[in-house]
Amino acid sequence: MPLPTLMVVPTGIGCSVGGFAGDALPSARLLAAASGCLITHPNVMNGAALYWSDARIHYVEGSALDRFASGDLALRPVRGQRVGVLLDAGIESDLRLRHLQVVDGCRATLGLELGPVVTTDAPLGVSLRQGESGASWGSLERPDALLRAGEQLRAAGATAIAVVARFPEDPESEALAAYRGGSGVDVLAGAEAVISHLLCAHLGIPCAHAPALSPLELNPDLDPRAAGEELGTTFLPCVLVGLSRAPDLVPLSSAAPGHGFPGSVGPLLTADQIGAVVVPSGVLGGEAVLACAERGVPVIAVQNPSVLAVTAEALGLIEAGATVIEASSYAEAAGFVLALREGISPAALQRPLPQLRWCSTNAGRPSGGGVPPPGPWLRPDGTRPHPRC
């Protein structure tokens, strides 16, 4: 039986795995095989001209994934989506034609149901920023134009939307050089998240973003993790493929958990089915992760360095009773997911294996005539892993 698992790699923070052009995709494929059902977001799956389609992987926009994990949304697997394309009026004519040719290429070669195409009634005016931590973010001058174009596409029958916004360029910037060399933060990613979050929250349908940029000069020292973005003239192919099989977003007020809907290819996925969440160990403060931890879902914290250090210790998750399993790599995390799926305690796979101890209110002796009370045990050092202990 599958173990629905969340994989979260936040965007724009320079994760060693998942901070570049779809370089977390191999890890996602492995976790999908281990779990049988992986729910993740575009930052993990998007590799510009490169992509991978897997029926076990559900492609869910980041803010919708948070709402799913929090219990506000269910996911309805579908055979396919009709993906509308939203183009920024600020895209130059030649670059616009390149994107339209990608759309036609995906229709002809991959058989995707795409269209219509709508151009915003004003340039979106994307600006890029970086915070003191180094994390990237951004803003729009005309969010109203984005939302109007999205509403127009939905009214025309689109069930998912691929957004292409014109992004500012500085080919000589130190940040870009660092990113292409494999040591920097993706300065576009934070603004991309703002765009997709805004549109998805407003329309309630799957959305994802691809930036429109001019091709860069060849770089013989390009880091392999950034290479996917330099194989073609646009970043759009992966977005169209991902959205083509993205699950519908169903408000729980209209959902009947465990039951299918017309056009679905399986039962609804709901938050109470989540069996594990896999996330970098330094970014545990996100809404999806905290919602899962609060419900007792095991959090598999993977060593995946970034510019942030929001750890289990910093958040007090262990003291609050959360189950946090540390993994040195995504390969080890996949092993833990498989163990959970098979009903094997992850603790039994680790060494040293501490002696089992019980909670007690009487100088370390078991209460109730020698019968250990129900509930969590003490750690080997005598500290309590849960406030009820």
pLDDT tens track, the chain, 389 positions? 999 999 999 999 999 999 999 999 999 999 999 999 999 999 999 999 999 999 999 999 999 999 999 999 999 999 999 999 999 999 999 999 999 999 999 999 999 999 999 999 999 999 998 888 889 989 999 999 999 999 999 999 999 999 999 999 988 888 899 999 998 899 999 999 999 999 999 999 999 999 999 988 999 999 999 999 999 899 999 999 999 999 999 998 765 544 445 556 678 999 999 999 999 999 999 999 999 999 999 999 999 999 999 999 999 999 999 999 999 999 999 999 999 999 999 999 999 998 887 665 554 444 444 444 444 444 445 444 544 44
Q: Is 125 left (phi over 0), alpha (psi -120 to 50) or beta?
A: left
Question: How far lies 368's CA from each of 377, 382, 386, in Å?
Answer: 16, 20, 20
The runs of H, that is alpha helices, within 120-204 are: 143-155, 174-180, 189-203
> Residue 374's pLDDT is what?
45
For the CA atoms of 8, 12, 15, 19, what is the dihedral angle to 10 degrees?
90
C-beta of residue 61 within 8 angstroms of C-beta of residue 362: no
Amino acid sitting at position 127? S
Return all residues near 350 (Cβ < 8 A) that are at least 6 apart: none
Residue 39 Cα to chain centre, angstroms: 8
List the one residue out of 265, 225, 272, 242 whose CA is nearest residue 60. 242
The SS3 of residue 57 is strand
pTM for the full predicted model: 0.89
Domains of the chain in sequence order: 1-78+245-353 (3.40.50), 80-242 (3.40.50), 355-389 (no CATH)
C-alpha–C-alpha distance, residues 383 and 389, integer Å: 10
- Cα–Cα distance list, 198 to 55, 143, 163 (Å): 27, 8, 11
